[in-house]
Structure 1
């Protein structure tokens, strides 16, 4: 059995830089036509010049003949200005990313209070730049499993009400609260969903011992109601939900440490992972829309002209892959998947 579809886009991807970038970018290129590249490097991408330099670095290490197109994103800080937004748009940057300060990897320079960015958000609304949001609060008194729901109540509702024409992508949603919010919001609100949040829940991370390679932010939630709600949303055919892997590579030693990094690496077989989740829901006919159409439409991009083909075939995910000067443990390492990209 084979399954042919329009080449997908990854609407949320981390590729790092330097040797790390070189070691993994080919995995995404083999599957995706484009990717929305996250800007949270060690030195974040906070202006148009840095975005251009980063894009040039990515292009310089692509396989020969590749048509892969990295789409760049600006990292928002308390000091991002309307001028920064205009210059970013002029240079081809497609979106700006909100990281609440301290929310995840390399977010120390993120936004401390959303109201400080209101003039900038007004400019983004006027100029048509998308806002991508890591939707969690970071206050210590808020339980880590509740941070997404609290973010909706305290931040996202406020932004949507104050900027009704601003296009927003609620990134890597993990809760039924987020699914319900997107479903009941207007057409300018959409969300990405990762393969690991479709295929795993917090039991996979915690039962039988802590498994650091299942640790990500936002953290994996309960199966019921949260994982089930994500599966429903992704496979529903609703155009508000689309593919964004949030593939986040970290060396094995950085994951298996006293303070393991947050992030799950899925770029090695992203579309196979999504196919697995969709097949389990008897919804393979909905995969192409989710993976190849809805994200492009929301970003006002044409659909890719290339196609990919998945084959029904069992194969075992390797225990690790080379990564810079170390190794990386992929999601589903040593497990058998039933779909393989030809």
Structure 2
């Protein structure tokens, strides 16, 4: 029985760090294991220009504890007023690695997102020309569409027409949650998809059965079991289309355990242990390095990390139930089963 696993140091291709005291509190949880991360730009106010991205990167690096090695990969928040020339300059300088599309109202701090795609056509054409990826939160927000159907409807009514209208645009379908998302990600070129840690573990029953569990509530919301199984198959398939984006999203407990609780699961602390356990459950530990360490850099056209990490298997690992930050306590994702793998 395998007791150790060494792999290239992983990257997180979808991460929320927030800002200020929260940033200072949660950044070490990612930097402990991950070499790089695509940093989400949905701050208040959002990161919409190259200057904003540079200032945010500087705040992240200033918050990094001494002795930790971590590279934030910056993104811009796409708005109907985004300037194509600014996007080009930020990308060509090496500062910005992607642009993030939030349909207006889709998730936390997304009210400034795109409603009229004709207004961002010039930006998308520039991105296609220079090969800059567009990271997409793939849900429609129209009230007549059921929340569990938002991803599938988005693929048919928004994503596919957008890609047809912008040939050559490189697209990352972020945090896919459905078998339709898996199938579409496999259907074309210049297309990839991230899968979160928590969507490999939970389905919608985990949120709703036996009482509402606010720390399992996320957006996109977890779906039926058939979709969770489709995600696990994709993540462990060895297909380079799919790679890890944790979407680790810290909120203080007071805002999660609330009459209108915030969406997000905080998984940065124990993601590698959870992933090793899940991949071992399905007999696919040999596929974990591809999913966590190799496929993402290939799509983003970045070198893989030279450093390695080693996971060891033993007695169940005890992770803290909460991370204390200057903004308040943040509950760590509980997968609901023992974790026997830990990063050495």
Q: What interval of TM-score do these two structures reach, taking the shorter chain for normalisation?
A: over 0.9
Q: TM-score scaled by structure 1?
A: 0.97
SS state of the match for residue 94, structure 1?
strand
Tell me which moved more, 109-118 or 188-197. Answer: 109-118
Specify which of 156, 160, 163 is matched with residue 157 of structure 1: 160
* Segments of 4+ moved more than 6 angstroms: none
Which residue of structure 2 aligns with residue 127 of structure 1?
A: 130
Tell me which moved more, 318-327 or 247-256. Answer: 318-327
Rounded to whole Å, the distance in 2 between the matches of 1:177 and 1:292 is 25
Q: Which deviations, in whole Å up to 9, do the C-alpha atoms of 1:174-206 show, x marking residues without a partner?
A: 0000000011222x1000000100011001110
Shift of 1:334: 7.9
* 1:302-313 correspondence to structure 2 within 5 Å: 302-313=303-314
Specify which of 4, 15, 27 is matched with residue 6 of structure 2: 4
For the 8 Å contact 2:274–2:335, the answer to whether it is kept is: no
Shift of 1:335: 5.4
Rounded to whole Å, the distance in 2 between the matches of 1:208 and 1:15 is 31
Shift of 1:333: 7.2
> Cα 1:279–1:245, aligned 2, differ >3 Å: closer, same or farther?
same
Which residue of structure 2 aligns with residue 249 of structure 1?
A: 250
Rounded to whole Å, the distance in 2 between the matches of 1:143 and 1:338 is 38
Consecutive unaligned residues of structure 2, counting only runs of 5 or more, are none
Q: TM-score scaled by structure 2?
A: 0.97
Which residue of structure 2 aligns with residue 63 of structure 1?
A: 65
Query: Is 2:83 the counterpart of 1:77?
Result: no
For the 8 Å contact 2:29–2:269, the answer to whether it is kept is: yes
Shift of 1:321: 1.6
Specify which of 34, 47, 70 is matched with residue 32 of structure 1: 34
Shift of 1:320: 1.4
Query: Is 2:292 the counterpart of 1:297?
Result: no
Shift of 1:324: 2.2
For the 8 Å contact 2:198–2:335, the answer to whether it is kept is: no
* 1:222-237 correspondence to structure 2 within 5 Å: 222-224=224-226, 226-237=227-238
SS state of the match for residue 315, structure 1?
coil
Rounded to whole Å, the distance in 2 between the matches of 1:114 and 1:103 is 15
> Cα 1:235–1:335, aligned 2, differ >3 Å: closer, same or farther?
closer
For the 8 Å contact 1:133–1:170, the answer to whether it is kept is: yes
Which residue of structure 1 aligns with residue 171 of structure 2?
A: 168
Tell me which moved more, 143-152 or 163-172. Answer: 163-172
Rounded to whole Å, the distance in 1 between the matches of 2:212 and 2:236 is 30
Specify which of 93, 113, 118 is matched with residue 96 of structure 2: 93
Which residue of structure 1 aligns with residue 147 of structure 2?
A: 144
Consecutive unaligned residues of structure 1, counting only runs of 5 or more, are none
Q: Which deviations, in whole Å up to 9, do the C-alpha atoms of 1:259-296 show, x marking residues without a partner?
A: 00001000011111111221111100000011100000
Shift of 1:319: 2.1
For the 8 Å contact 1:13–1:36, the answer to whether it is kept is: yes
Specify which of 95, 111, 121 is matched with residue 118 of structure 1: 121
Q: Which deviations, in whole Å up to 9, do the C-alpha atoms of 1:229-282 show, x marking residues without a partner?
A: 000000000000001000000000000001000010000111111112211111
* 1:322-337 correspondence to structure 2 within 5 Å: 322-332=324-334, 336-337=338-339
SS state of the match for residue 115, structure 1?
helix
Which residue of structure 1 aligns with residue 195 of structure 2?
A: 193
Rounded to whole Å, the distance in 2 between the matches of 1:250 and 1:333 is 18
For the 8 Å contact 1:251–1:327, the answer to whether it is kept is: yes
Rounded to whole Å, the distance in 2 between the matches of 1:66 and 1:104 is 31
Instruction: Give the aligned CA root-mean-square deviation in angstroms.
Output: 1.2
Rounded to whole Å, the distance in 2 between the matches of 1:257 and 1:71 is 32
Tell me which moved more, 29-38 or 115-124. Answer: 115-124
Q: Which deviations, in whole Å up to 9, do the C-alpha atoms of 1:54-97 show, x marking residues without a partner?
A: 00000111121332110000000011121121122134201000
Specify which of 311, 317, 320 is matched with residue 318 of structure 1: 320
